[in-house]
Copies of this chain bind each other. A is one copy, B any other.
Amino acid sequence: MITGKNYIGNKLSAKGNKTFTTFNPKLNIPNQYELTEATPEEIDEAVALASSAFRVYRNVPGTKRAAFLNAIADEILALGDELLEVYSSESGLPQGRAMGERGRTIGQLRAFADLISDENWREISIDEAIPGREPLPKPDLRKLLIPLGPVVVFGASNFPLAFSTAGGDAASALAAGCPIIVKSHPMHAGTGEMVASAVVKAAEKTGMPEGVFSNLNSSGIEVGVQLVKHPGVKAVGFTGSIRGGRALYDIAASREEPIPVFAEMGSINPVIMMPGAMENRREQLATTYASSITLGTGQFCTNPGLLLCMKNDASDAFIEDLAQKTVAVDAQCMLHPNIKANYDKMRSSISAQEGLEVVAEYETATQENFAASQIAKVSGASFLANKNLHHEVFGPFSMVVQCKDEEELVNIIDQLEGQLTGTLIADEEEYQDLGTIVDTLQQRVGRIIFNGVPTGVEVCASMTHGGPYPASTDSRYTAVGINAIKRWVRPFSFQDFPKELLPEALK
């Protein structure tokens, strides 16, 4: 069922001779099918098709685009268990996660379909003319949001469904009226092709113009680079590493016509545990956080990689408890041998930093590609003195920083790089003392969670998934929730238009 070919519009195509395979990290063997990388000609073809599709698609009514999105959801479901199996074989993630992520993907598609079923999302604004105004008549002005044009969507390694081929970036761009060209993630290109086949079926069934969707394979960076440089491409969505996201941002910014790149990148998601809560809920917090740190093998964007607390007996005991509970969780498989190798490299590099003490490490002999969780601790002073400690370790690793006082704590928060989330753990008696901490934390993050865990990103209108750089390349947008559509649109004004020429929504 997996052909290994690219979708250039609705047609399967494999003109190139560079091939690659995906890898089953649980079995530690390559998957059997071969994927063919897109050629420069196929890339040009996909962009040309997207540009001509845009001429039609931007004027397809919202109800019909909604039908397209709902049809994609239906066709993904119709792929049945095979999709879930391929998903797991390319990611090492369990079937439960595969089902959950498919549910989220379907839910996102349907949420955007709902959103565009009427035109309210377009921020319609009408200022009627006042012909008699002095000194000058006021013209009639009507404004709405219109799509930017073809969008390139990069599949994310850690979300083969919900942030890849028909994931959040794809669904929001298609909802906005932008054709998309997906640069499939090489680690799960088989999953990508299956979902692509569902999108193509849905496009055909609902009569969408050819080129509204293409799916390109690649094992390296060349295909993505050519796409982002292409004059026909008008915006980019990416989820992944800071290095990858920044490279795309730099390419887009240096084009003759710069284009917006929304890259959701690394984050260590600081968690601040106040002394009272630490004292009173130590065990419960250790249990909760051991679970959050190891969830999905620590491969979520919102994984809590940094815990901040006061240095005292309670936090000493908490750290011990957290460490034991974390390493007691069964080791799990990582997405790919490369990701596992990178985790081990980052972990050993950070462990060698001055002042850092490894409290516990998962020790049972593990299978290949299974990650050994680790908890480390460090003093506030050491953390402040060493920026190497501020970077993400992608995997089931967390560092606890013990601060000498609140001033040091606030100083650390202030020095952090931009983050997707911050979390505050506090008892009711401590609420009154949180002013400065909340205010400082707010400047570094896109969302604060109170007495919870950062993992688990609700898909709703009030969600912000994004944050100051390097959490994202444009903190003015969210990657999750219906407002993600705002990344792909621009305001447009009609002045003194005759009614018959106005779009329906502005009449």
Which residues of A are at the interface with B, using a C-beta cutoff of 8 A?
55, 59, 125-127, 136, 138-139, 141-143, 146, 148-149, 249-250, 253-254, 257-258, 260, 418, 428, 431, 434, 438-439, 442-443, 446-452, 456, 458, 460-464, 466, 468-470, 473-478, 483, 486-487, 489-498, 500-501
Whether B492 lies near A447 (C-beta < 8 A) is yes
Assembled-state Cα–Cα distance A461/B475 (Å)? 23
Partner of A449 from the list B254, B458, B496 (CB cut-off 8 Å) is B496
Assembled-state Cα–Cα distance A253/B253 (Å)? 7
Residues of B within 8 A of A463 (CB): 127, 141, 143, 493
Partner of A491 from the list B250, B451, B466 (CB cut-off 8 Å) is B466
Whether A126 lies near B496 (C-beta < 8 A) is no
A-B CB contact pairs (8 Å), 27 listed: A55-B439, A125-B462, A127-B458, A127-B460, A127-B462, A139-B449, A141-B458, A141-B462, A142-B462, A146-B442, A249-B258, A250-B253, A258-B473, A260-B476, A431-B500, A446-B490, A448-B493, A449-B496, A450-B494, A450-B495, A450-B497, A450-B498, A452-B495, A452-B496, A464-B493, A476-B489, A477-B491
Q: A469: nearest residue on chain B (CB-CB)?
A: B257
**Closest CB pairs A-B (n = 6):** A253-B253, A141-B462, A464-B493, A447-B493, A143-B462, A475-B490
Whether A495 lies near B258 (C-beta < 8 A) is no
**A-B contacts besides A146-B442, A253-B258, A446-B490, 7 pairs, CB < 8 Å:** A127-B462, A431-B501, A448-B497, A450-B494, A452-B495, A477-B491, A478-B491
Q: With A125-B462, A260-B474, A464-B143 in contact, do A495 and B447 touch (Cβ < 8 Å)?
A: yes
Residues of B within 8 A of A491 (CB): 446, 464, 466, 476-478, 483
Assembled-state Cα–Cα distance A41/B428 (Å)? 46
Residues of B within 8 A of A447 (CB): 492-495
Q: A259: nearest residue on chain B (CB-CB)?
A: B469
Residues of B within 8 A of A254 (CB): 250, 253
Min distance, Cβ A173 to any Cβ of chain B, angstroms: 14
Min distance, Cβ A466 to any Cβ of chain B, angstroms: 7
Whether B494 lies near A461 (C-beta < 8 A) is no
Residues of B within 8 A of A474 (CB): 260
Residues of B within 8 A of A450 (CB): 494-498, 501
Q: A135: nearest residue on chain B (CB-CB)?
A: B100
Number of copies of this chain in the oligomer?
A: 2
Min distance, Cβ A443 to any Cβ of chain B, angstroms: 8
Partner of A494 from the list B260, B448, B469, B493 (CB cut-off 8 Å) is B448
Partner of A456 from the list B136, B466, B470 (CB cut-off 8 Å) is B136
Residues of B within 8 A of A500 (CB): 431
Whether B139 lies near A452 (C-beta < 8 A) is yes
Residues of B within 8 A of A487 (CB): 476
Whether B461 lies near A495 (C-beta < 8 A) is no
Residues of B within 8 A of A149 (CB): 443
Min distance, Cβ A1 to any Cβ of chain B, angstroms: 30
Min distance, Cβ A249 to any Cβ of chain B, angstroms: 7
Residues of B within 8 A of A478 (CB): 491
Whether A143 lies near B493 (C-beta < 8 A) is no
Assembled-state Cα–Cα distance A254/B258 (Å)? 13
Min distance, Cβ A490 to any Cβ of chain B, angstroms: 4
Residues of B within 8 A of A260 (CB): 474, 476
Assembled-state Cα–Cα distance A249/B257 (Å)? 12
Whether B462 lies near A498 (C-beta < 8 A) is no
Q: With A258-B253, A469-B258 in contact, do A462 and B493 touch (Cβ < 8 Å)?
A: yes
Residues of B within 8 A of A55 (CB): 439
Q: A443: nearest residue on chain B (CB-CB)?
A: B149
| Of A146, A439, A458, most B-chain CB atoms within 10 Å | A458
Assembled-state Cα–Cα distance A497/B452 (Å)? 10
Assembled-state Cα–Cα distance A142/B494 (Å)? 33
Whether A492 lies near B141 (C-beta < 8 A) is no
Q: A483: nearest residue on chain B (CB-CB)?
A: B491
Residues of B within 8 A of A148 (CB): 475-476
Assembled-state Cα–Cα distance A34/B100 (Å)? 69
Residues of B within 8 A of A138 (CB): 458, 460
Whether A460 lies near B497 (C-beta < 8 A) is no
Assembled-state Cα–Cα distance A489/B442 (Å)? 13
Assembled-state Cα–Cα distance A149/B443 (Å)? 9
